Amino acid sequence: MTRVLITGGAGFIGSHLIDRVIADGHRVSVIDNLSSGDKTRIPDGIVLHVADIRDSEAMTEIVTHDRPEIIYHLAAQISVRHSVADPQADADTNIGGTLNLLTGARQVDARLILASTGGAMYGDGVPMPTPETVPPQTPAPYGISKYCAEQYLALFGRLYGTQHLALRLGNVYGPRQDPHGEAGVVAIFCGQIAQGQTPIVFGDGHQTRDFLYVADVVDAFVAAAGYTGSESVFNIGTGASTSVLALLDAVNRAAGSQIRAQHAPARDGEWRHGALDSTRAATELGWTATTPTTEGIRRTFQQLKLQTPAPVGGVRPHRLELATSRGADDS
């Protein structure tokens, strides 16, 4: 039985990871400030520390008390738009918060596995699908903060001989993702179409992302925990590039509808195209994405449909922002 600590465990990806770790027979505790997470996602009997990763004293106290062997670090500021508007706050959470956890991890000899970003890391004008060897050209502070967090993981490895890992996630989607949150275009489309609403797409809709089902992401985190090789950064994606309009078509097929989007100007900090080359993860971790996009979207729509109230007052537009991973909302 392994002692596991999950930051952002009340969020979208984190709650799925909790379920998997429990099913695998490990002991789990959670850190979440509940600013966006849902406390009801934490199963009974699991210790929840309501704390902010920016609080260095709290992080050290929690980590040294729980003494985890593995820290899955998913808590983050995940909005590209917010990172552009307030890069300082973005850095405080994504860089400072990670450094706080690394400091605690060092005291108990824990391995930290970071939910980083793949989509926001590389920018445009790069080979696609993009391998980890391509230098980051991120167009937003969010990508910069995640890259800096990765560098701190590597630095601690050089200084102290630890082996922390970063998983650069594609655009993660699936059940439990908030259709009203800052991130999650799939969830937003599913939630709005379930209510008969018209999404607004920023830009022409031909921008592409690597959409990745949450169960595949959980498999990647579990595989990373047991890794003993020399690599430290892994792309976690499907390798496929799907446009926003094609994604909307897939959600319409899952819903049996034909709702079309309204368009608005593109937003700052976005990039045009993205797809991740995950050959390194396949070779080193034994991981590949296995859920077809059509099947993942079908599952996501069915779950959100059950949670979505019936439309009232006719069709309404919904302003959609295409964000990154997501990761850890959690992305």
Domains and CATH numbers, the chain: 3-172+214-236 (3.40.50.720), 174-210+240-274+290-319 (3.90.25.10)
| Set 72, 122, 142, 213: catalytic member | 142
Under 8 Å CB-to-CB from 137, ≥6 apart: which residues? 122, 123, 124, 125, 126
Query: What are the tens digits of pLDDT across the range 124-153?
Result: 999 999 999 999 999 899 999 999 999 999
Average pLDDT over residues 190-195: 91
Active site (annotated) includes residue 160: no
Q: Given a cut of 70, is residue 210 above it in pLDDT?
A: yes
pLDDT band at 181 (very low <50, low <70, confident <90, very high): low
Closest CA to 244 of 283, 182, 202, 181: 202
Q: Given a cut of 60, is residue 311 above it in pLDDT?
A: no
Q: Given a cut of 70, is residue 330 above it in pLDDT?
A: no
pLDDT band at 157 (very low <50, low <70, confident <90, very high): very high
Among the ranges given (105-109, 290-294, 312-316), the one the predictor scored with the smallest mean pLDDT: 312-316
pLDDT confidence of residue 238: 98
